[in-house]
Amino acid sequence: MEVSELAVEPVVPSHARFPLVDGVRAIAALTIFAFHICFHLGLLSTDLLSRYLGNLNVGVPIFFVVSGFLIYRPFVAARFAAASAPELAPYALRRTFRIVPAYWIALVIVTLILGLESTVLTPSGVITYFGFLQAYDISTVIGGIGQAWTLCIEVSFYVALPIWALFARRALPKSGGRRKLISGELWALGALFVASFLWQLLISPLFVPGDHGYLIAQISLPAFADQFALGMAMAVVSVAVHSGTTKPRLLVLVERNPWIWVVAALALYSLLGLKIGSLGLGASWADAGLFRHVVKGL
């Protein structure tokens, strides 16, 4: 897709509001809720049902993509406007208050209700569960609030993002106009996507399921960086469009025909229910869940 530059240098809003994202988050939350309901009702035991209902946890990748988009966008906007990067302290405070208070309150309530004081409310337990570290030990990964392993990945992304933004600011092209900035960002994020893909394809199979190393390989930021990278790439395109760059033809097409998004989403979700063998893919691919992981991110 071709993008062209304009002579005018419009101001790029670094903290633009996207109210429709709240709707996307609501859909993601509902799919996760529906997944757990289906699990507890035993609806995932039937082959045909499980192939589709078992993928309602697609809400997790949706949250990761949305986070990549919203959180990276201010960094991209600052770079496109040749302004200073967002300050680290306000960024850290916003991320902390966004997730920590609600999680800590919920963790205390769940701990007291389920009687988990002996594991959670101990010196090591406080550090582990209140510090978002439980996903990195096979004995604690489902302790406390079992679903909070996703928060561990989210928090690790919060920590890693400013480092990536600093890399982009210093290593990627600084001159050559907006087109050069856009292509540099997208190529770098494409490389991040491929690196995450290779991590899942090559690194994860080196470990035995149930082993500590396997857990780290499967439930860690490198394994989900591809999904965050998709959202970050969307942030680059969003900033480029808002900065005055001509919209790519594909974006214009889907803006005029929003039903395309619905059809594409349903088509991708239907792929999740296909038996991998029918696609001619190997068993190791299916066992790793790599196909479904990538499709869910898309």
Domain parsing of the chain, residue ranges: 20-83+150-297
Mean pLDDT for the stretch of residues 36-50: 70
Residue 10 and residue 71: Cα distance in Å, rounded? 21
Which tokens go with 173? 């092209």
Of the listed ranges 125-129, 139-143, 229-233, the one predicted with least confidence:
139-143
Mean pLDDT for the stretch of residues 100-113: 94
Kindly state the percentage of the chain with pLDDT values over 90.
Answer: 31
Higher pLDDT, 125 or 14: 125
Q: How many residues can be counted in the chain?
A: 298
Residue 253 and residue 279: Cα distance in Å, rounded? 29
Residue 175 and residue 189: Cα distance in Å, rounded? 19
Examine the pLDDT at 294 and tell me if it is beyond 70. no
**Helices vs. strands in the chain: H and E counts, helices first:** 14, 0
What band does 128 get if pLDDT is binned at 50, 70 and 90? very high
Higher pLDDT, 244 or 151: 151
What pLDDT is recorded for position 28?
82
Higher pLDDT, 52 or 125: 125
Kindly state the percentage of the chain with pLDDT values over 70.
Answer: 75
Q: What is the mean pLDDT of the chain?
A: 79
Q: Is the pTM of this model over 0.95?
A: no
The amino acid at 262: V
What band does 61 get if pLDDT is binned at 50, 70 and 90? confident
What pLDDT is recorded for position 157?
96
Residue 295 and residue 298: Cα distance in Å, rounded? 5
What pLDDT is recorded for position 7?
36
Contact (Cβ atoms closer than 8 angstroms) between residue 90 and residue 75? no
pLDDT in tens, 187-238: 999 999 999 988 887 876 777 666 667 777 788 899 899 999 999 999 998 8
What pLDDT is recorded for position 6?
36
Residue 192 and residue 245: Cα distance in Å, rounded? 24
